[in-house]
Structure 1
Amino acid sequence: MALPQYIKVSQGLARPEQHVGEIDPQQLPRLRLELAAPSQALQVTLGLARDRGGNWLRGELHGSLELECSRCEKVFAWPLDANIDLRLVRNDAEAQQVLEEADPYQVEDDRLVVADVVEDEVLLALPMLPRCQQCEQAKADAPEPAPAAKAERPNPFAQLKKS
């Protein structure tokens, strides 16, 4: 099933439905810059919901992205499993109000562009310093360095006290 290009928020809230499909990471320009090699399509599930807290976009992202290990520079498949739970807001003021209780996502012209939402959420899910499984294991197996001994330094206030 193909994902729509956009979801009309008012319709999606009035008649809740799930949008399920795939999206090609190469079609997401900002994400494409983070990839070390072409990656397989991502599985996307999105739905709109309304409750006492407000209007929400909820869903899941699954797939595998080809990243470059920041340590050994080899390309490896990084598993993506991310949940989407965004509070839909209309403007910056509303976003500021809900910031402490939810992640706001601003809706413009009653439309959510599916590719933009997916791209934003995938970019947020990416590790800051991607490491392949071998480098991650090597880091975990490495002994912790012993704490450096503090060099004894004279207290400058003790010198004043002696005077």
Structure 2
Amino acid sequence: MSRDFPDWIDAERAAQAGRRFAGDVRIEWMPRVRDLLDAPAPDDVIEFEIAASLDRSPGSGHIVRLDVHVFGSVPMTCQRTLKRYMQPIDTRSEVAVVASEDELAGLPEELEPKLVPEGRLKLVELVEDELLLALPLVPRDPDSAPVENAGDVFERAEPEEGDNPFAELARLRGTDD
């Protein structure tokens, strides 16, 4: 496991310098993700690569851009079998760092905005955000077989012979007329 990245970066300065960051993040350092997983081990990690750059657009100044790649696998509970499996993760996204909501209007649609009012960005939080977006809503092990339809498992019930309560009601109604 490598921990060759800073806790915080000044996104604008990193973009001006064309900095790149890479490493492994322990899942235990990401509480929002950790609570969604199936008992991650203390040494479970997710890998990331982040490249910072400036996009200069005529008339709109510049955009601090982060190309984020998060990959690895995380332990989850399959909702078909209720057994643990390793969910593969490989996600890429393009993030625009903005200091205020006013800057959101001028962003290209392909960029995901990341609001950082103080200008300092915590790399582990960015990786955690991207990992949360990559997790499936309903985890299913790709190797698990689909559950049979309930119609295939249970026999269809045949109507029982006997008195129909509505027939009895119709008979009673007919005598009162």
- Provide the C-alpha distance between the structure 1 equivalents of 2:56 and 2:13, rounded to a whole number of angstroms: 18
TM-score, reference length from structure 2: 0.71
Query: Quick one: which amino acid aligns to residue 51 of structure 2?
Result: G
Does residue 106 of the first structure (1) align with residue 108 of the second (2)?
no
Residue equivalent to 2:137: 128
CA spacing shift, 1:70–1:47, aligned 2, 3 Å: same
In the alignment, is the contact (CA less than 8 A) between 1:9 and 1:110 conserved in 2?
Answer: yes
Give the counterpart letter for 1:109 in structure 2: E
Which of 43, 67, 70 is matched with 2:76 structurally?
67
SS at 1:4 equivalent: coil
Cα deviation, 1:13-53, whole Å, max 9, x if unaligned, reads 22112111110011101001111021521111112111135
Mapping of residues 17-36 of structure 1, within 5 Å = 17-36=19-38
Q: Structure 1 residues 41 and 131, CA, compared in 2 at 3 Å: closer, same or farther?
A: same
User: Identity over the aligned pairs, expressed in percent?
Assistant: 27
How many residue pairs match? The answer is 140
Partners in 2 of 1:48 and 1:108 — Cα distance?
18
Residues 74, 88 of structure 2: 8 Å contact kept: yes
Per the alignment, residue 14 of structure 1 pairs with: 16
Q: Could you say if the C-alpha distance between residues 138 and 71 of structure 1 is closer, same or farther in structure 2, counting changes exceeding 3 Å? A: closer
Q: Does the Cα contact within 8 Å between 2:94 and 2:110 map onto a contact in 1?
A: no
* Structure 1 portions without partners, runs of 5+: 143-163
Runs of 4+ in 1 over 3 A off after TM superposition: none
Q: Does the CA contact (< 8 Å) of 2:19 and 2:53 recur in 1?
A: no
Give SS of 2:114's match: strand
**C-alpha RMSD of matched pairs (Å):** 2.1
Q: Is 1:50 aligned with 2:58?
A: no
Flag the structure with larger Rg: 2
Give, in angstroms, the shift of residue 106 of structure 1.
0.9
Structure 2 residues not aligned, in runs of 5+: 58-62, 150-177
User: Normalization by structure 1: what TM-score?
Assistant: 0.77
Q: How far, CA to CA, are the matches of 2:89 and 2:110 in structure 1?
A: 25
Q: Whole-Å Cα distance in 2 between the matches of residues 42 and 7 of structure 1?
A: 19
Q: Tell me the residue number matched to 1:91.
A: 100
